[in-house]
Amino acid sequence: MRGTTRLLGVIGDPIQHSLSPVMHNAAIADLGVDYVYLPFHVKPSDLTPAIKGFEAIGVQGFSITLPHKQTILPLLTRISETAQAIGAVNTVWWTDQGWSGTNTDVEGFIAPLKSEQRDWANLTAVILGNGGAARAVVAGCALLGCQQIRVVGRNAPKLSQFVESWQQSPFTMTLTAHPWADLPTLLPEAGLVVNATPIGMAPQTAQSPLSADLIGHLTAGAIAYDLIYTPRPTRFLEEAQAQGAAPIDGLEMLVQQGAAALQIWLQQPAPADIMRAALLDHLAHR
Ligand code: NAP
């Protein structure tokens, strides 16, 4: 680092577990650009002064993780259409007019699906969970062209609110809300099943969002996508693959949302291979 080094970073509470500094600093080193990417622990009550401070010290851009993805919205001058539809921002950059924000989780989610040859318009997507990541998944499925999206949740009022929140979005898909009890009928029709819950994430690796009874309803040839990246694979993906489904884990989403953010900040292509390798190396040694 020198006097000219420009600042990027990530804000969150907590922030200690963030993998973003690992992959972004690996990319920065590979590109040989004069930047550094730092973790910033920002508590909810400190969000406004922290962002004001970022402006004052010339931070160029930053990533946003829990719990600030929604609360950052009023502090931004411009929000991309996708981020508006999702209602959450994960990437911010400084412009002459102020802070601009978008959501690269959508691009990250879609990236590993692009190589799948599917008739997206006629494929039904089933999404398990209705939290923040599920919002990026809905937008991603809609952008791929899925017309039928089923969201499965355990909290009925929260789930209805989730579905209603998409009514003003630019997307034209049919989005329906379902309790977990509907899965025996939903799974046989699903071409894509996404786990957007933390069920199965380390250290609870013996868990799966689909019980032994339910996994049997998954069709061979369906895509089983788990947003979780520790462990790789999760129990859900192992069992889905044994059923003949095509498994995708969450690592590529993490890499590609980061690469898309870095590309915005640096205005040049990001080395996704370097970022992936840095993450894999870090995960293998922690
Ligand atoms: P979140 O906002 O907390 O949402 C979690 C969702 O899972 C909620 O709908 C929650 O239900 C549901 N859920 C949690 N435990 C459950 C259980 N035992 N049974 C049924 N439903 C349960 O979290 P998030 O940010 O969306 O993250 C979800 C997962 O995606 C996490 O594993 C996270 O690591 C992963 N993720 C990965 C990436 C990536 O780049 N690969 C990016 C973002 C997130 P309630 O609403 O009823 O509580």
pLDDT tens column, 195-251? 999 999 999 999 999 999 999 999 999 999 999 999 999 999 999 999 999 999 999
Q: Which one of the listed residues 43, 52, 69, 114 is annotated catalytic?
A: 69
The CA 221 to ligand 1 mean position distance, Å, reads 25
- Out of 17, 182, 197, give the residue to mutate to test ligand 1, the one with the largest number of ligand atoms within 8 Å of its CB: 197
Helix axis angle, 251-266 relative to 20-31, nearest 10°?
50
CB atoms within 10 A of CB 150: 22
Please tell me the predicted confidence (pLDDT) of residue 210: 97
Q: Is 120 a residue whose pLDDT tops 90?
A: yes
pLDDT tens digits for range 121-144: 999 999 999 998 999 999 999 999
pLDDT, greater one: 168 or 46: 46
Quick one: average pLDDT of 242-270?
97
Instruction: Indicate if ligand 1 lies below 6 Å from the C-beta of 131.
Output: yes
Please tell me the predicted confidence (pLDDT) of residue 228: 96
Please tell me the predicted confidence (pLDDT) of residue 159: 97
Quick one: average pLDDT of 156-165?
95
The CA 128 to ligand 1 mean position distance, Å, reads 9
The CA 33 to ligand 1 mean position distance, Å, reads 35
Computed over every residue of the chain, the mean pLDDT equals 96
Instruction: Indicate if ligand 1 lies below 6 Å from the C-beta of 130.
Output: yes
pLDDT band at 286 (very low <50, low <70, confident <90, very high): confident
Instruction: Indicate if ligand 1 lies below 6 Å from the C-beta of 177.
Output: no
User: Can you list the positions of beta strands (E) in the chain?
Assistant: 6-12, 35-41, 61-64, 78-79, 91-95, 98-102, 124-128, 148-152, 174-178, 190-195, 223-226, 246-248
pLDDT tens digits for range 92-112: 999 999 999 999 999 999 999
pLDDT tens digits for range 39-82: 999 999 999 999 999 999 999 999 999 999 999 999 999 999 99
Quick one: average pLDDT of 261-267?
98
Q: Is 168 a residue whose pLDDT tops 90?
A: no
Q: Does residue 69 have an active-site annotation? A: yes
CB atoms within 10 A of CB 127: 29
Compute CA 47 distance to the chain's CA centroid, rounded to the nearest angstrom: 21
The CA 196 to ligand 1 mean position distance, Å, reads 5
Give the closest residue (by CA) to ligand 1 atom 38.
227
